[in-house]
């Protein structure tokens, strides 16, 4: 029996446990079929139709697991359910477990005698039974329906019992429309127009003519002038509806604060402009909806993008265009903008067709159709501070083409993606296939192949055009040559497509297989932003005006719209436009060898051993160190060191790629993954087309696997070669521009032009970026073509900042203070002055007294943000959690810097160990102390020794505010907002009570805070950004010493040891070298920082080491361990040089502090200020005395260990064992007594 067919199977669904799975069966015959007691089975379970079930002629039944879930997804009721039903949906009898597998299965329809009626087999199924005669059909992805193909000419389902009945390039997503291809013949008029010449006037006039309704479907809408026209229409009681894409490529619709926006406006600028447009439309009675996607809420968009661009007016006319409603697309001034085509068709049937399309997409019942909601953070009003730029852009383009209205007879055929865009006997391919004399194509983008995830196929549109040339047609293809507009809509490597077409034309002509003419050009139209058109003209009689780019997404996945118009006058109008653009365009230039400037281009960064699986965020950066711009079109990047054979990866830069002097370009495998790690967008990507606003490099290696295409840098070793565009076609070595070789690469160096000498660069660890060194004096990259260009103690991680070392000289005042003597009073006095904002960055915050002052500030309406370390040594205390809870509950924003490997969250810095506060963007407080009872004690008779400074200068404050917001950045995965329910980053235990006791001691305070007036030079010091500089910052400061260097430090190791890396302590070396130059050098270290196991890593060993050098070399160099009996410990990290320069900071003299942590400090040049801390230093120097090894208060460096952990020494283990034994003994004794 073949009377009934299985025509759809939906097995890999969106919902958990996939309750909305369904099978659709269809009766293609002219007779009704009794399918009572027929069954559907996957050989593991079955569902049986009730007796008397009749499937009428040319009708279908939908059979699902759960009728409610089906209805919520499909918005109509199924015919049968076999697990749960609703209302009048019959429940089928079920045997076994009928649940379709996502990877492979078979679906079998059997009659009441258990005979096979129809079968579909997919994925990896090994079914070889009756009803199937081939390999399984290809599986489909989540949210996609496996659907039987139909014959285009007959409209009947294919039925050969093979996979060819089912395999298709198209992906049928749930909820997509199924509009048929129709042609409307009418006598009337249409208006043809061109962007930028005449588009604005034509569209405005049509909108202004509306009497009843206007329905707009568009990808992007940021034109204030078109919005004002719609508002005027709405005020005339015209119904206006606007349907928009909810997430245009690289737009970020989420509202952020103004500071973050100003530092990173690129993703938000256009998005907020569109939100502003939506807001004013909404406020003027216009309905606005977005097509959205939100996986967390099980909202899945029907189309990858709403990329159509049409307007229906009064259900009697429709405007179709290639352009978005924005300044570049439909410009108010026609001297500026994109090249695009548009048409207005005044025909009721055509208008109704597009009106039906609009309302199918608009449908409020669909979960992905979301209304503009003013308070919604994404799909609502922009931030209150956002100001819309109403500037009318102008340019140098001289308009040529006025719009024309043509009267006559027209055949108009709407084209929709994905509904009809792939038809081969009609629509776009059919139109080109019908060509007899000419095919002229003007396109934004056209790839040689269509690549989408695991699918790779020919570009069927391009194939049709090439076939037309083979048949004898004149085929001209014009593609955009540059991607310089900020608001890019699509990016493809047109350069290589042009090369491919023209080489193919030459080859076909030589072989006698080209009867016509085939040529491709790159369009560079002076005065225009780009060619954004998507048009085709055939035989000077048919023209396609559309939004459809010639790439996979546009044809298969987006909602796109266009029309094919058969009318000679209309076609000739656009042909004139095409020839004008064709004649001013150019072909690829002839090859030239690289000149000196071109050979100066450098590879400066390589990130090869990344965090994510399959390493999609792998990247490299190239830089132009010269002052001249360099055209690098066609230049290549490869990780192969032999003639091109396709064994490894090679990628090419597209035509029109200019690398300006002093600028860099970032090239990655996946732009979206790159952005998530690096927090800025790359310039190019090549593994996938993950982002519409990032240009595509062309891949020329031969791998068929998408995730392996292009260069993929080896973690153990590889070579990365930058060449010009003739590396594979000429004297290979003469075209190498730059090389970096690392790890176990076997790159051959013998040839003088191979670009590398000597050993390879040492490998870096996972999550570390290999970066070229910079000469501190010149600021230029080091370039000796050896490993010394790259090897450095600095460790660069994704997302880290790169703030420059700056000095700020001003006349004003600063305040010096010392802990515990006067730090509390000084801090709270300054905190209480805050009027507008206060940004606090701390390693630890556990003082309830300081908390109360911060809360009071917040309750006055001051914007308070607190950024904390998410994994301090020893973990979180309930006191710290309580502080965060109270701050959050009183209006402060609290975030943590965290790490969570299982969720691919990797902190940018090993610890956020900085300790500073920015107040009103005018004052900054920098200190060595955490905000706890020992760091900033309320009672000054107890606590740590630490130093602090208050700098009242806007430039310095703004510098630190910029640092704060870079670290705070909510877009960075390691910046985690306080969450009361989180077990770590949330509230304390319910029964926790904060300890408000004020610790006190026997210390007699010696120092009051002091405010100094005069001229100051303040230089911020940041780890890791500037902490390793040798001509400035800390090392440079010590190297500048002429008389004396005084150092007071919590900890200082002889060597810096980090995993397998061992190097000298560069800070300590600088101090010793100062003594060798004749300076008096005194180094005071805390006596409690001693390792009882004598592992040669503590301060005692360092003091011994220093004093031995002093004695041996007879230097004025002395180190002491200080034990101030009435203080908790020396927690300071300060340096004084020549009684003129003072370092106040959080930077311990250990590897982590200098290399890996976020640390902050300032160097202040002022003699009076330095004298204050010199007195403090000598008080400690003279008051302390050396301590013994067995000091009971020995403590670890607070940020030189692993996060949230510690390594117990032998005495600690012994102590714990004794305690445990005592506890067990007590419990056993109590138990025995109870038994008595």
Sign of the Cα torsion 581, 583, 584, 590 reads positive
Q: At what angle do helices 848-859 and 823-831 cross, to 10 degrees?
A: 10
- Quick: pLDDT tens for 329-362: 999 999 989 999 999 999 999 999 999 999 999 9
Give the number of other CB atoms < 10 A from CB of residue 769. Answer: 20
- Quick: pLDDT tens for 866-924: 999 999 998 889 999 999 999 999 999 999 999 999 898 999 999 999 999 999 999 99
Angle at 465 (CA atoms; ends 462, 471), nearest 5 degrees: 145
* Span between the terminal Cα atoms of the chain, in Å: 86
SS3 817: strand
Instruction: Outline where DSSP puts E strands in 150-234.
Output: 172-173, 184-195, 213-218
- Quick: pLDDT tens for 269-327: 899 999 999 999 999 999 999 999 998 899 999 999 999 999 999 999 999 999 999 99
- Quick: pLDDT tens for 711-727: 889 999 999 999 987 66
Q: At what angle do helices 1099-1113 and 1066-1076 cross, to 10 degrees?
A: 30
Q: According to the model, what pLDDT value does residue 24 have?
A: 98
| 552 — pLDDT class (breaks 50, 70, 90) | confident
Using CA atoms, how far apart are residues 745 and 756, in angstroms rounded to an integer? Answer: 12
- Is the confidence at residue 232, as pLDDT, over 80? yes
Q: According to the model, what pLDDT value does residue 492 have?
A: 47
Q: Which two tokens stand for residue 1224?
A: 């067990």
Half-sphere exposure of 1143 (CA within 13 A, CB side): 31
Contacts of 1109 (CB under 8 A, 6+ apart): 1072, 1115, 1117
Q: Are 1130 and 1122 in contact (CB under 8 A)?
A: yes
Instruction: Tell me yes or no: is domain 412-583 CATH 3.30.870.10.
Output: yes
The backbone torsions φ and ψ at residue 601, rounded to the nearest 5 degrees and listed phi first, read -60, 135
Q: Are 27 and 33 in contact (CB under 8 A)?
A: yes
Q: Are 307 and 558 in contact (CB under 8 A)?
A: yes
The backbone torsions φ and ψ at residue 889, rounded to the nearest 5 degrees and listed phi first, read -70, -15
Q: Are 1090 and 1192 in contact (CB under 8 A)?
A: no
Q: At what angle do helices 199-208 and 224-235 cross, to 10 degrees?
A: 10
SS3 810: strand
Going by C-alpha positions, the residue among 900, 885, 886, 883 that lies closest to residue 844 is 883
- Quick: pLDDT tens for 358-401: 999 999 999 999 999 999 999 999 999 999 999 898 877 899 99
Q: Which two tokens stand for residue 292?
A: 């959205």
- Is the confidence at residue 643, as pLDDT, over 60? no
- Quick: pLDDT tens for 776-828: 999 999 999 999 999 988 899 999 999 999 999 999 999 999 999 999 999 99
- Is the confidence at residue 630, as pLDDT, over 90? yes
- Is the confidence at residue 728, as pLDDT, over 70? no
Percent above pLDDT 90 for the chain = 76
**Could you say which DSSP state residue 804 is in?**
P
**Could you say which DSSP state residue 34 is in?**
E
Using CA atoms, how far apart are residues 98 and 297, in angstroms rounded to an integer? Answer: 27
Using CA atoms, how far apart are residues 531 and 550, in angstroms rounded to an integer? Answer: 13
The owner of tokens 């499937």 is: 55
Over the chain, what is the mean pLDDT?
90
Strands 893-897 and 863-869, how do they pair? Answer: parallel
Using CA atoms, how far apart are residues 1041 and 1081, in angstroms rounded to an integer? Answer: 10
Q: According to the model, what pLDDT value does residue 600 have?
A: 95
- Mean pLDDT value across residues 687-709: 68
**Could you say which DSSP state residue 1149 is in?**
B
Going by C-alpha positions, the residue among 486, 490, 398, 384 that lies closest to residue 443 is 490
Using CA atoms, how far apart are residues 543 and 251, in angstroms rounded to an integer? Answer: 33
The backbone torsions φ and ψ at residue 1023, rounded to the nearest 5 degrees and listed phi first, read -105, 135
Half-sphere exposure of 443 (CA within 13 A, CB side): 29
CA 669 to chain centre: 13
C-alpha distances in angstroms, 1219 versus 413, 926, 1092?
Answer: 87, 41, 19
User: In sequence order, what DSSP letters do the residues of 1049-1079 get, joined into one string?
Assistant: ES-B-SEEEETTEEEE-HHHHHHHHHHHTT-
Q: At what angle do helices 460-471 and 494-510 cross, to 10 degrees?
A: 30
CATH number of the domain at 188-371, please? 3.30.870.10
Q: Are 533 and 444 in contact (CB under 8 A)?
A: yes
- Is the confidence at residue 1193, as pLDDT, over 50? no
Q: Where are the chain's structural domains?
A: 5-168, 188-371, 412-583, 596-650+665-789, 808-977
Establish whether domains 5-168 and 412-583 are of one fold. no
Q: Which two tokens stand for residue 617?
A: 């965020």
Half-sphere exposure of 5 (CA within 13 A, CB side): 21
Of the listed ranges 445-454, 1021-1030, 1197-1206, the least confidently predicted one is: 1197-1206
Q: Are 485 and 530 in contact (CB under 8 A)?
A: yes
SS3 173: strand
Going by C-alpha positions, the residue among 238, 246, 319 that lies closest to residue 289 is 246
Give the number of other CB atoms < 10 A from CB of residue 750. Answer: 5
SS3 114: coil
The owner of tokens 């200080």 is: 1122
* HEC secondary structure over 50-104: CCCCEECCCCEEEEEEEHHHHHHHHCCCCCEEEEECCCCCCECEEEECCCCCCCE
CATH topology of domain 5-168: Immunoglobulin-like (2.60.40)
Contacts of 990 (CB under 8 A, 6+ apart): none
Q: Are 632 and 659 in contact (CB under 8 A)?
A: yes
Using CA atoms, how far apart are residues 610 and 729, in angstroms rounded to an integer? Answer: 33
| 423 — pLDDT class (breaks 50, 70, 90) | very high
Q: According to the model, what pLDDT value does residue 1190 have?
A: 36
Region class of 697: left (phi > 0), else alpha (psi between -120 and 50), else beta: beta
Q: Are 984 and 1203 in contact (CB under 8 A)?
A: no
- Quick: pLDDT tens for 470-502: 999 999 999 987 532 222 333 346 877 888 899
Q: According to the model, what pLDDT value does residue 1231 have?
A: 45
Give the number of other CB atoms < 10 A from CB of residue 265. Answer: 12
Q: According to the model, what pLDDT value does residue 648 have?
A: 59
Using CA atoms, how far apart are residues 46 and 217, in angstroms rounded to an integer? Answer: 44
- Mean pLDDT value across residues 577-599: 77
CATH topology of domain 808-977: Endonuclease; Chain A (3.30.870)
Q: Are 800 and 775 in contact (CB under 8 A)?
A: no
- Is the confidence at residue 250, as pLDDT, over 80? no
Q: Are 1089 and 1099 in contact (CB under 8 A)?
A: yes
Strands 404-417 and 560-566, how do they pair? Answer: antiparallel
- Is the confidence at residue 576, as pLDDT, over 70? yes
């Amino acid at each position: 029996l073949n009377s009934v067919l299985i025509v759809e199977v939906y097995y890999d669904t969106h919902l958990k446990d996939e309750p909305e799975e369904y099978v659709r069966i269809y009766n293609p015959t002219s007779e009704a079929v009794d399918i009572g007691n027929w069954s559907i089975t996957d050989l593991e379970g079955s569902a049986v139709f009730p007796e008397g079930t009749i499937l009428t002629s040319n009708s279908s039944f939908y059979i699902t697991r759960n009728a409610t879930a089906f209805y919520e997804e499909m918005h109509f009721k199924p015919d049968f359910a076999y697990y749960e039903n609703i209302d009048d949906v019959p429940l089928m009898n079920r045997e076994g477990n009928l649940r379709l597998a996502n990877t492979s299965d078979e679906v079998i329809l059997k009659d009441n005698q258990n005979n096979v009626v129809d079968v579909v087999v997919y994925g990896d199924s090994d079914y070889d039974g009756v009803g199937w005669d081939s390999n399984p059909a290809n599986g489909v992805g989540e949210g996609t329906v496996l659907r039987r193909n139909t014959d285009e000419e007959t409209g009947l389902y294919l039925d050969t019992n093979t996979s060819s009945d089912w395999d298709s390039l198209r992906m049928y997503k749930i909820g997509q429309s199924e509009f048929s291809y129709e042609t409307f013949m009418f006598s009337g008029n249409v208006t043809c127009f061109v962007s930028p010449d005449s588009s604005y006037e034509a569209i405005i006039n049509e909108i202004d003519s509306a009497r009843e309704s206007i329905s707009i479907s568009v990808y992007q809408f940021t034109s204030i002038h078109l919005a004002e026209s719609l508002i005027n229409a709405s005020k005339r009681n015209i119904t206006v509806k606007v349907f928009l894409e909810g997430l245009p490529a690289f737009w970020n619709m989420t509202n952020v604060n103004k500071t973050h926006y100003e530092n990173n406006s690129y993703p938000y600028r256009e998005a907020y402009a569109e939100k502003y447009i939506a807001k004013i439309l909404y406020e003027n009675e216009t309905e606005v909806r977005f097509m959205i996607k939100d996986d967390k809420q099980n909202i899945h968009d029907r189309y990858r993008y709403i990329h159509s661009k049409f307007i229906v007016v009064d259900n009697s006319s429709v405007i179709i265009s290639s352009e978005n409603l924005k300044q570049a697309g439909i410009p108010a001034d026609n001297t500026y903008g994109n090249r695009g085509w548009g048409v207005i068709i005044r025909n009721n049937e055509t208008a109704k067709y597009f009106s039906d399309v609009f309302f199918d997409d608009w449908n409020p019942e669909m979960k992905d159709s979301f209304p503009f909601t003013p308070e919604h953070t994404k799909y609502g009003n922009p931030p209150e501070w956002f100001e819309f730029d109403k500037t009318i852009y102008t340019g140098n383009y001289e308009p040529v083409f006025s719009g024309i209205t043509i009267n006559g007879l027209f055949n108009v055929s709407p084209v929709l993606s994905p509904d009809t865009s792939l038809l081969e006997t009609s629509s776009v391919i059919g139109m080109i296939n019908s060509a007899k004399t000419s095919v002229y194509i003007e396109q934004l983008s056209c790839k040689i192949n269509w690549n989408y995830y695991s699918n790779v196929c020919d570009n069927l549109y391009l194939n049709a055009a090439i076939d037309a040339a083979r048949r004898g047609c004149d085929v001209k293809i014009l593609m955009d040559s540059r991607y310089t507009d900020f608001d890019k809509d699509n990016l493809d490597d047109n350069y290589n497509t042009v090369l491919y077409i023209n080489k193919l034309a030459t080859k076909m002509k030589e072989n006698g297989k080209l009867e016509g003419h085939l040529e491709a050009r790159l369009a560079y139209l002076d005065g225009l932003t780009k060619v954004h058109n998507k048009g085709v003209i055939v035989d000077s009689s048919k023209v396609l005006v559309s939004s459809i780019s010639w790439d996979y997404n546009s044809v298969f996945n987006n909602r796109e719209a266009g029309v094919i118009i058969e009318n000679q006058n209309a076609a000739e109008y656009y042909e004139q436009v095409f020839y004008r653009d064709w004649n001013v365009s150019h072909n690829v230039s002839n090859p030239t060898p690289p000149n000196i400037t071109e050979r100066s281009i450098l590879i400066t960064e390589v990130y090869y051993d990344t965090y994510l699986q399959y390493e999609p965020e792998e990247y490299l950066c190239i830089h132009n160190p010269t002052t001249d711009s360099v055209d690098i079109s066609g230049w290549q990047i490869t990780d192969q060191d032999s003639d091109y054979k396709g064994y490894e990866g090679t990628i090419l830069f597209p035509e029109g790629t200019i690398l300006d002097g002093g600028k860099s370009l970032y090239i990655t495998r996946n732009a979206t993954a790159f952005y998530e790690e690096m927090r800025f967008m790359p310039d190019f990507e090549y593994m996938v087309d993950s982002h519409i606003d990032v240009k595509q490099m062309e891949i020329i290696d031969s791998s068929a696997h998408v995730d392996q295409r292009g260069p993929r840098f080896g973690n153990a070793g590889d070579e990365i070669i930058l060449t010009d565009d003739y590396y594979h076609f000429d004297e290979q070595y003469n075209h190498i521009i730059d090389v970096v070789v690392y790890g176990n690469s076997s790159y051959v160096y013998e040839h003088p032009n191979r670009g590398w000498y000597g050993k390879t660069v040492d490998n870096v660890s996972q999550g570390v970026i290999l970066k070229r060194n910079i000469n501190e004096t010149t600021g230029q990259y080091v370039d000796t073509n050896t490993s010394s260009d790259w090897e450095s103690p600095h460790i660069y991680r994704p997302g880290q900042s790169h703030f420059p070392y700056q000095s700020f000289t001003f006349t004003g005042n600063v305040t010096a203070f010392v802990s515990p003597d006067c730090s509390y009073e000084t801090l709270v006095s300054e905190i209480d002055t805050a009027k507008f904002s206060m940004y606090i960055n701390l390693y630890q915050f556990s003082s309830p007294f300081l908390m109360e002052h911060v809360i009071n500030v917040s309750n006055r309406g001051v914007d308070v943000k607190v950024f904390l370390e998410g994994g301090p040594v020893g973990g979180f205390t309930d006191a710290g959690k309580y502080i965060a809870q109270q701050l959050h509950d009183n209006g402060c924003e609290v975030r943590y810097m965290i790490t969570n490997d299982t969720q691919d969250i990797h902190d940018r810095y090993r610890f956020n160990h900085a300790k500073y506060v920015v107040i009103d963007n005018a004052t900054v407080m920098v200190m060595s102390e955490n905000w706890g009872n020992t760091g900033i004690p309320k009672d000054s008779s107890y606590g740590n020794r630490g130093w602090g400074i208050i700098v009242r200068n806007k430039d310095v404050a703004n510098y630190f505010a910029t640092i704060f917001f870079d670290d705070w950045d909510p877009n960075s995965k390691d910046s985690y907002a306080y969450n009361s329910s989180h077990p770590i980053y949330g509230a304390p235990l319910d029964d926790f009570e904060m300890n408000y006791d004020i610790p006190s001691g026997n210390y007699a305070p010696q120092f009051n805070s002091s405010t100094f007036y005069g001229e100051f030079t303040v230089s911020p010091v940041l780890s890791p950004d500037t902490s390793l500089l040798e001509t400035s910052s800390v090392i440079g400061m010590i190297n500048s010493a002429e008389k004396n260097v005084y150092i007071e430090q919590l900890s200082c190791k002889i060597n810096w040891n980090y995993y397998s890396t061992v190097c000298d302590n560069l800070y300590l070396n600088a101090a010793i070298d100062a003594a060798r130059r004749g300076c008096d050098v005194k180094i005071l270290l805390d006596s409690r920082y001693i390792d009882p196991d004598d592992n040669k890593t503590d301060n005692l060993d360092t003091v011994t080491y220093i004093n031995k050098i002093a004695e041996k070399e007879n230097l004025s160099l002395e180190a002491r361990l200080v034990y101030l009996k009435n203080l908790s410990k020396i927690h300071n990290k300060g340096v004084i040089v020549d009684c003129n320069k003072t370092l106040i900071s959080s930077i311990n003299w250990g590897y982590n502090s200098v290399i890996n942590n976020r640390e902050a400090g300032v160097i202040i040049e002022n003699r009076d200020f330095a004298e204050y801390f010199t007195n403090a230093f000598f008080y400690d120097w003279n008051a302390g005395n050396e301590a013994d090894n067995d000091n009971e208060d020995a403590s670890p460096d607070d940020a030189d260990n692993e996060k949230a952990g510690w390594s117990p020494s032998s005495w600690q283990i012994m102590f714990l064992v004794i305690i445990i034994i005592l506890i067990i003994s007590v419990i056993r004794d109590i138990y025995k007594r109870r038994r008595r």
